[in-house]
Structure 1
Amino acid sequence: MELFKSETNFDFMAWRKPSLVISAILCLLSLAIIFGRGLDYSMDFEGGVMIEVKYEKSAEIADIRNALEAGGLKSAVVQSLGTATEYSIRIKPEDAHVGAAAAEAPKPEADKAAPAEAAKPESAGKTETDKIAAEVLKALKVSRADASIKRSDFVGSSVGEELREQGLVAVLFVILGIMVYLWMRFEWRFAVAAVASEIHDTLITVGIFALTAREFDLPALAAVLSVVGYSINDKVVVFDRVREIFRSSRKGEPYEILNRSINSTMSRTIMTGLTTSLAVGTLYFVGGPALENFGLIMLIGIAVGTLSSIFFANPILLWLGVSKQDLMPRSKEDPELARRP
C-alpha cells in the first residue's frame, strides 16, 4: 500500500532554509517556556501525601475521583491497588489547602542539642498528613459511608528531585547511545544529524506539553523517552535509504539523492505515524487521567518527529556535506583496514 507513488519527486529540500529557521525558532521558544514558565511537576517529582483507602464493597475509580473533586480535591490521582476495594490516592498538600512545610522544615542549630525539640518537625509533618487524610476521608464518605483509611504517608520532595535527575540522565543516556550506534552503523554526519533531530523533537514536544499546563508525571517522562525512540526509528529508515541510493547511483548530487530518499520513504513515514497515533490516541481519549499525559505527549512527539524526518534531518545532512564517498563500502586495500590485525 502506497500513499505516494515511488516515482514521486516533490522538492522537499527546497524548503530546507525556511524549515531550519522555523525549527530553530521553535526550539528557542520551547527552551524559554521550559525554563521560564517551567513544567508543572506532579507529586511524583514534588512530593506529597500517599493515602490508601479501603471499601467494604467494590468501588469504581471514576466514582472516587468524582467524590474527591466534589470535596475540592481536584488534582488527586487515584489508582487501583489490584483489587476493586483498595485504592491509593496521591495528592499534593497545597491542593488539600493544608501546608506541608513543617514536614521538611530544616532543623535549627540550637535544636541539635535538644532531642525533644528536634522531634517537633516530624510530629508536625505527621499532623499535617493526618489532616489531609481526614479531609480525603470526609470527601469520600459523602458518597460512600463504607470508606476507610488504611494508611497515609508523606513523601518528601527530595525523592522527587532524585526522580527528576534520574529522568534527565535517562534522556541524555538514550541520546548518547543513539549517537554512538549511528556513528558505527553509518557515518559521523548521520550521527550528528540524528542527535540534532532528537534534541529538536524532544525540546519542541516538551515545550508544547508545557503550554497545556498539565502536570508532568512519571507517565509523561516515560512518553518523552518513547518519543526519542520513535523519532530515531524513522530517521534510521530515511538514512538507510539515503545510503542505499548513494551506493546504487552512478551519478547524482547529494541534494537530488536526499530528495529521492524522502520521497521514497514518505508513504512508510506517514502510515507508521498514523497507525501509531491510533494506538496512543486511544490512551489519551479513553485511557483515563493516569494515561492521558502519556498519550498526549506521544501524539505531539509523533507529529513533530514525522515533520523533522522530512524537513530537519536531511537538511542537516546536506548542510554537513554528506557525499557518496562517505558511504561507499571500504575495500580490503584500504590503508586503514590494512593496518588492523
Structure 2
Amino acid sequence: MRLKLVPDETSIPFFKFRYWGYAFSLFMVLASIFFIATKGLNFGIDFMGGTTIEIATPEPADIGALRGDLNGLGLGDVQVQTFGSPNDVLIRIQSQGDAEADQQVIDQVRGVLGDAVDYRRVEVVGPKVSGELVESGVTAIFIAVVLMLVYVWFRFEWQFALGSILALLHDVIVTIGIFALLQLEFSLSIIAAVLTIVGYSMNDTVVIYDRIRENLRKYKRMDLKELLDKAVNETLSRTVVTAVTTLLALIALYVFGGEVIRGFTFAMIWGVIIGTYSSVFVAAPILLVLGVKRDWSETGGDSKAAKKGA
C-alpha cells in the first residue's frame, strides 16, 4: 500500500485565509526586523575575526575543563565544542585587535594544551578580512535575489516577479530574524544556508506559478481567487512531499551531524518550513492584489488584468 502524504485531489480554501496569512507574515517580518535592530546578530569568527584551532585529544575531551583553562587566559570570547568523535575539539577565540596579537594567541593556547594533543588546523582571520567577508556575504544575497527577479520577470510577468521577490525577502528576513532572536552564531555557513533557502523557495514558487499560468490559459472565465486556489491545491502534493523529504534528511543531519554544521542545518530546516509557507501564503496570494493577465495566448499590446476576488 502506497503512503500518501496528501490526497491526489484536494480543495482546501487557502485564499479564504489569505488575510490571516498577510497578518502573520507581516508580524514575522516586523518582529524579525525588531530583533535584528535591538538584539543584533551573534556574528561568528568568520565575521568578527579571531582564531580557530582544531585539535584531537588522546582521550574523550573534557570540554568543561578545556573551556575553563582557556578562559583563564583572559582572551575574551572563547568557544569550545566537540564535533564528529568525542576526541575532536574545535576552539574559537575572538580577535585580539591586530594580526600580531592573534598570532600570540596560538602560542598561549599551545602552552595551556601542551603537546599531548594533535593540532590539525590553525587559522587566523583578521578584522579586515572579516569585514570583507560580511560585505561579500551581503552582496551574494543581493545578487541572488536580483537575478531571481530578472529570471521570473522574463519567464512570467512583472506581477509574478514582484510576488516571488516579496516571498524571497520574507524568507531571508525571517530566517535572519530567528538567528537574532535565539542569538545563534551567524557565520559564513549561515550565508550559504540563506542562499540555498533562496533557491529552494524560488523553486517551490515557480512550480506554483507554472500551474497558475497553465490554469490562466485553460479557465479564462474562472474567478481569479478560485483559479489561484485550484493551482495551489493541484501542486500541494508535490510541495508537501518535497518539503517533508527534505526535512527528514535535514533533521537527521541536525541530530547526528555534530556541532560544526548544526547552525547550517538549523537554518536550512527553518528555511524549508518558511519557504514552503511563503510559496503558498505570500507568493500566490499577492497576485490577487497585483492582478494578472488572463489570456496567455495574447502576444503584444496591452493585456487586460483581472483583479476579481481580491
Contact kept in structure 2, 1:201 and 1:301, CA below 8 Å: yes
Question: Structure 1 residue 137: deviation in Å?
Answer: 2.8
Give the unaligned 5+ runs of structure 1.
94-99, 104-124, 337-341
Question: Structure 1 residue 267: deviation in Å?
Answer: 1.2
Partner residue of 2:67 out of 62, 69, 83: 69
1:257 corresponds to which letter in structure 2? Answer: L
Q: Deviation digits for residues 225-252 of structure 1, max 9, x if unmatched? A: 1111111110000000101111112420
Partner residue of 1:229 out of 196, 199, 214: 199
Q: CA RMSD in A?
A: 2.9
Query: Residues 335 and 273 of structure 1: is their aligned pair in 2 closer, same or farther, counting only changes over 3 Å?
Result: closer
Q: SS of the residue aligned with 1:91?
A: strand
Partner residue of 1:126 out of 71, 92, 100: 100
Is residue 2:209 matched to residue 1:239? yes
Partner residue of 2:37 out of 19, 35, 38: 35
State the TM-score, normalized to the length of structure 1: 0.76
**Separation of aligned partners in 2, 1:78 and 1:44:** 18
What are the equivalent positions in structure 2 for 1:269-288 lying under 5 Å apart? 269-288=239-258
Aligned position for 1:263 = 233
**Separation of aligned partners in 2, 1:215 and 1:248:** 49
Question: Structure 1 residue 286: deviation in Å?
Answer: 1.2
Contact kept in structure 1, 2:79 and 2:91, CA below 8 Å: no
Question: Structure 1 residue 187: deviation in Å?
Answer: 0.8
**Separation of aligned partners in 2, 1:317 and 1:223:** 28
Contact kept in structure 1, 2:82 and 2:88, CA below 8 Å: no
Question: Structure 1 residue 4: deviation in Å?
Answer: 3.1
**Separation of aligned partners in 1, 2:253 and 2:13:** 36
What are the equivalent positions in structure 2 for 1:144-223 lying under 5 Å apart? 146-147=116-117, 154-223=124-193
**Separation of aligned partners in 2, 1:247 and 1:150:** 61
Q: SS of the residue aligned with 1:49?
A: strand
Contact kept in structure 2, 1:254 and 1:323, CA below 8 Å: no
Is residue 2:94 matched to residue 1:92? yes
Q: Deviation digits for residues 192-243 of structure 1, max 9, x if unmatched? A: 0000000001111111122221111111111111111111110000000101
**Separation of aligned partners in 2, 1:243 and 1:228:** 22
1:75 corresponds to which letter in structure 2? Answer: Q
Partner residue of 2:15 out of 6, 13, 35: 13
2:67 corresponds to which letter in structure 1? Answer: E
**Structure with the largest fraction of helix:** 1
Question: Structure 1 residue 3: deviation in Å?
Answer: 3.1
**Separation of aligned partners in 2, 1:79 and 1:126:** 29
Query: Residues 65 and 138 of structure 1: is their aligned pair in 2 closer, same or farther, counting only changes over 3 Å?
Result: farther
What are the equivalent positions in structure 2 for 1:79-118 lying under 5 Å apart? 89-93=91-95, 100-101=96-97, 103=98
Is residue 2:47 matched to residue 1:45? yes
Moved more, 69-78 or 302-311: 69-78
Q: SS of the residue aligned with 2:6?
A: coil
Query: Residues 297 and 128 of structure 1: is their aligned pair in 2 closer, same or farther, counting only changes over 3 Å?
Result: closer
Query: Residues 278 and 59 of structure 1: is their aligned pair in 2 closer, same or farther, counting only changes over 3 Å?
Result: farther
Aligned position for 1:96 = none
**Separation of aligned partners in 1, 2:137 and 2:192:** 9
2:228 corresponds to which letter in structure 1? Answer: L
Q: Deviation digits for residues 44-98 of structure 1, max 9, x if unmatched? A: 1111124476x7xx858x6386763353566146789xxxx999754225xxxxx
Query: Residues 265 and 152 of structure 1: is their aligned pair in 2 closer, same or farther, counting only changes over 3 Å?
Result: closer
Contact kept in structure 2, 1:283 and 1:294, CA below 8 Å: no
Contact kept in structure 1, 2:70 and 2:109, CA below 8 Å: no
Give the unaligned 5+ runs of structure 2.
72-77, 303-310
Task: Give percent identity, aligned residues only.
Answer: 35
State the TM-score, normalized to the length of structure 2: 0.83
Q: Number of residue pairs matched?
A: 292
Aligned position for 1:312 = 282
Is residue 2:110 matched to residue 1:137? yes
1:175 corresponds to which letter in structure 2? Answer: V
Q: SS of the residue aligned with 2:10?
A: coil
1:63 corresponds to which letter in structure 2? Answer: A
